[in-house]
Amino acid sequence: MPELSKEEIIKFSEELGFFKIGFASPSVPAENLTVYQNWLELGYHATMEYLRNGLEKRQYLSKVLPGVKTVIMTAFNYYTGEDFKHGELKISRYAQIRDYHKFMIQKLKALARKIKEYAPEAQFRIYSDTGPIMEKALAAKAGIGWQGKNGIIISKERGSWLFLGTILTTLEFEPDSPAVDSCGTCNICMDSCPTSAIVQPGVVNANKCISYWTTEAPKTGDIPEDIKENKKGWLYGCDICQEVCPWNIKFGKVNPEAVNLRRIKSSYSHKEIMAMDDEKFVEIFTGTPVKRRGIEVLKKNSLK
């Protein structure tokens, strides 16, 4: 059986719709682990206690897949275009399309199956924001992009409108060069955050983050007044730090596949949300990340 090259895997990944793919050795840089542990100790994860789980697995990928030799990182461009109706209640771009956890896993499984045709003995573990994997650190190490000051991976070719996917494998490939931080002296994302959630370059305090309060916070209880007063019309998620990023403004490119995956509008009126019952909510938002939060949370998010 012929040996499978990186170039062939890249070709397979492109056929599956991935914008970019990179290869890295299976270790997380020590500085990333230190930053993450400090982030947890400072309580910047807010109520997301699950992020404390699997710290040993995050550090030692062999605990996830014994014999792992390579991390294959992939990126899918989900940009569908600039179409927000400002002044309305806005839905973050990632949530306007089909739930990425599902279609990304399907694509990753398809890529792993293709690789396995050439290497039947190979083992794999697949994740897309679904397990104790430090995807951003590994994406930077694999050359997908650098972690920007807003904490998000930024690619020179497409900006930061990216879903990341991870394949751990027992196959060994030559690692790619890590991405070079290219934010420079730019602080636009930090200066533009209306709640000052980006407390230092690359560090986001979820307790101050609009996206946290509209997508991850406990369903019971109110959104703090200082967040509510500065929410800028965001109903679910928040894209401010990405909208203002020069890399997105210059290099954001519409992906036709992402457009085809789109399920809901970019914005809704307060009247629409408040008039919505459970049945209508399920009809509109099924298949998107919004569905898991329920109509009552959406109504709470719509209040000023």
CA distances from 32 to 41, 176, 183, 202 (A): 14, 18, 18, 11
User: Scanning the structure block, which residue is given the tokens 């997105």?
Assistant: 248
DSSP-assigned letter for residue 180: P
287 backbone φψ class: left, alpha, beta (φ>0; ψ -120 to 50): left
Instruction: Return the closest-CA partner of residue 212 out of 48, 91, 41, 42.
Output: 48
Alpha-carbon gap, residue 267 to 89, rounded angstroms: 5
Is residue 180 within 8 A of residue 121, CB to CB? The reply is no
Quote the strand ranges of 149-212, DSSP E: 153-154, 162-169, 198-200, 203-204
Instruction: Return the closest-CA partner of residue 127 out of 54, 183, 194, 200.
Output: 54
Alpha-carbon gap, residue 284 to 20, rounded angstroms: 31
Alpha-carbon gap, residue 19 to 255, rounded angstroms: 9
Catalytic residue among 129, 191, 222, 278, which?
129
129 is catalytic: yes
* Residue 11: CA count within 13 A, CB half-sphere: 5
Instruction: Give catalytic residue positions.
Output: 129
